[in-house]
């Protein structure tokens, strides 16, 4: 009797998942590094642009504050220099504009002062704008505003800086001519003892250094109301 013959089953080879090769990994890392570099550069440029815009906004805000303060003082300039003065018989100049090289100084009487409530004080005061050298930066100046209620005294009143990065502060004056006159000439000095009047307008030219070291020029023409 012939027996049944069984053939041994062959074991099937199991296939395993094939992994990434070293070249594929290096290529993926290279592509990822390029993408990250581009993203970082774009993000860095956005940050720089944001900082620049913020610095410019700060500079323009500071300039607006200066011009706003000077405008408020100048539009209330008043030709009465004996109020609150130590000597009521003294003919004290009520508007003096001086020139010193590329810079100017300005002193005038104004009605811009606000006396304390209930105080027996005049609203007239002597306003001065002038420059002092900056301590840390030799080529910059500090613009100072002084408010002196005792007109005609030197060094009185309170003073404080309104900008510490002034490159140039130049003031010129328009005489008693029409603002629209094409032949008008600006004067760089004004003395009310000689003119017996206020200027018609004051032109303020400011050059301010930005945080990035750029010198930016600003200009404002301030018209003084005529006082009869």
Look at residue 142 and tell me if it is in a domain: yes
Look at residue 100 and tell me if it is in a domain: yes
Tens digits of per-residue pLDDT, 150-205?
A: 877 776 788 999 999 999 999 999 987 655 566 667 899 999 888 888 899 999 99
Q: Print the domain residue range for 85.
A: 65-223
With 0.75 as the threshold, say if the pTM is over it.
no
Look at residue 215 and tell me if it is in a domain: yes
Look at residue 39 and tell me if it is in a domain: no
Look at residue 207 and tell me if it is in a domain: yes
Look at residue 44 and tell me if it is in a domain: no
- The torsion angles phi and psi of 211, rounded to 5 degrees, stand at -60, -20
Tens digits of per-residue pLDDT, 6-38?
A: 555 554 445 555 667 888 888 888 888 888 888
Cα distances (angstroms) measured from residue 187 to each of 99, 172, 181, 184: 10, 5, 15, 10
From 188, 195, 222, 219, select the one nearest 97 (Cα to Cα). 188
Cα 39 to the center of its chain, rounded Å = 33
Q: How many domains does the chain have?
A: 1
């Amino acid at each position: 009797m012939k027996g049944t013959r069984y053939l041994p089953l062959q074991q099937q080879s199991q296939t395993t998942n094939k992994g990434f090769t070293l070249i594929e990994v290096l290529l993926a890392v290279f592509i990822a590094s390029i993408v990250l570099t581009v993203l970082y550069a774009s993000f860095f440029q956005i940050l720089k642009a944001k900082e620049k815009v913020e610095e410019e906004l700060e500079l323009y805000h500071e300039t607006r504050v200066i011009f706003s303060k000077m405008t408020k003082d100048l539009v209330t300039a008043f030709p009465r220099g004996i109020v609150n003065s130590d000597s009521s018989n003294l003919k004290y100049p009520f508007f003096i504009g001086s020139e010193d090289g590329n810079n100017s100084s300005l002193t005038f009487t104004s009605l811009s002062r606000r006396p304390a409530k209930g105080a027996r004080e005049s609203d007239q005061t002597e306003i001065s704008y002038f420059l002092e050298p900056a301590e840390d930066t030799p080529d910059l100046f500090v613009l100072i505003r002084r408010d002196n209620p005792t007109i005609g005294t030197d060094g009185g009143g309170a003073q404080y800086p309104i900008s510490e990065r002034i490159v140039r502060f130049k003031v010129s004056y328009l005489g008693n001519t029409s603002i629209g006159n094409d032949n008008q000439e600006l004067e760089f000095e004004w003395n009310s003892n000689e003119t017996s009047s206020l200027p018609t307008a004051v032109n303020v030219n400011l050059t301010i250094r930005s945080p990035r070291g750029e010198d930016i020029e600003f200009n404002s023409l301030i018209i003084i109301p005529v006082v009869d």
